[in-house]
Amino acid sequence: MKAKGIIVPFILLAMGLSLVTGLSLAAQQKDKKQDKIFIPKEVSSLIQDGLASRQGRQDIPVNIFRTLYLPAKENFQAIFLMNIKNSALGFAPAAPAAPGTEAGKNGPQETAAQEAGETLQAGFNVFLQFNRLDDSGEPSVFREVYVPATIQVPAAGFDPEKEDLYSVGYPLPFGHYLLALAVTSLDLKSVGIAYHEFTIPDPSQFSKTLDTTPVFFVKQMDQMEAVEQRTVFHRGMFTYSVLKVVPNIDNSFQLGENLDIFFYIFGAKPNSSQQYDIEINFEVKQGEQSSIKWSSQTYNSPLISQPLPMKQTVKIKKGDEPERIEQRDLPAGSYTLVISVLDKASQNSVVKTLDITVK
């Protein structure tokens, strides 16, 4: 895990984030004027057939189960997490890459590995249709995106019957949307369509209150050399700014693991020195009983990335021996993480809770 002290500032620098409330109308109008990318008529027709019922064709079973959104340059990065059965994507032994090409840049060793069947590859299409929903719930097409997808995985341990995590992200202004996502074979004969309704809030509505983006837990986080310049379909993780993130999607942890959380705070205001002064208290409870309460943390940015060690402070007394204090792992069980956020500049606050499981 990268040091948290450098991750947040680097994200802010890379994305050029403006941490004031509200996105400009000009930015939204500029986004609307961009040309839409064509979706083949046969796929578009299938999308329209299921739009009203939100039930799409499922030759390739696709299930979008969660949307995350985080601030990005003039917009939000909307991230869609989904499950797809591996066998539906047609993984097969990868063809050997020619030495000297991008795919074969590691030379004869990489080519030999592919020839030995150590790498599987799937190629397919992903089409995104973002529909704006008006006050009555009627959809109108806002943006269409084509994402060519090529996924490579090690053959060792690959389970074709498993539903794995896949993701795609796209920058959007705030609003109420219906996403129609189509995954198709390269010849467009096999098609899986999923519909997913979501809302990205207008930051300007939090002038007198606080709120957060969806809070999620991180299993692993690595830094890329640069921000991705095109829309990419990923397996097992998602990207945000310069980060590759493997999320903990079921909020379950092994004994001794950290709770590593990530979120953004809406409505925080800089003080007279144009600095943020945010205080957060984290506590794990089991029912009404406190299991862990960490000391208050202070932050100078509304973008929060924080590891929390799941260690309890336990007092131990045996017979006539002096009482001693030990640090022990939080026992297995079901708990609730309570996140209490206070913006010291505005004195506004918000409390968020997440259920977690320790195995």
pLDDT above 90 (res 33): no
Between CA 207 and CA 302 the distance in angstroms is: 14
Nearest to 330 by CA among 310, 306, 307: 310
User: The tokens 């069947």 sit on which residue?
Assistant: 117
Phi-psi region of 302 (alpha: psi -120 to 50; beta: other; left: phi over 0): alpha
Between CA 35 and CA 284 the distance in angstroms is: 48
> Cα 12–13–17 angle (5° rounding)?
45
Structure tokens belonging to residue 260: 């590593």
Domain ranges in the chain?
Answer: 23-201
Nearest to 39 by CA among 120, 147, 134, 123: 147
Look at 315 and 343; give whichever has higher pLDDT.
343
CA 132 vs CA 34, 142, 172, 199, 208: distances in Å: 16, 6, 11, 10, 27
Phi-psi region of 97 (alpha: psi -120 to 50; beta: other; left: phi over 0): beta
pLDDT digits (tens, 9 = 90+) for 187-215: 999 999 999 999 999 999 999 999 999 99
Residue-averaged pLDDT of the chain? 87
- Mean pLDDT throughout 151-160? 94
- Mean pLDDT throughout 128-157? 95
Between CA 147 and CA 130 the distance in angstroms is: 14
Predicted local confidence at residue 113, as pLDDT:
42
Predicted local confidence at residue 314, as pLDDT:
78
Q: For the purposes of burial, counting CB atoms within 10 Å of the CB of 25, is it exposed (0-12), middle (13-18) or buried (19 or more)? A: exposed
Predicted local confidence at residue 356, as pLDDT:
98
Query: Beta 258-266 vs 303-309: how paired, if at all?
Result: antiparallel
- pTM (2 decimals)? 0.85
Between CA 236 and CA 167 the distance in angstroms is: 8
Asked if 261 and 216 touch (Cβ cutoff 8 Å), the reply is yes
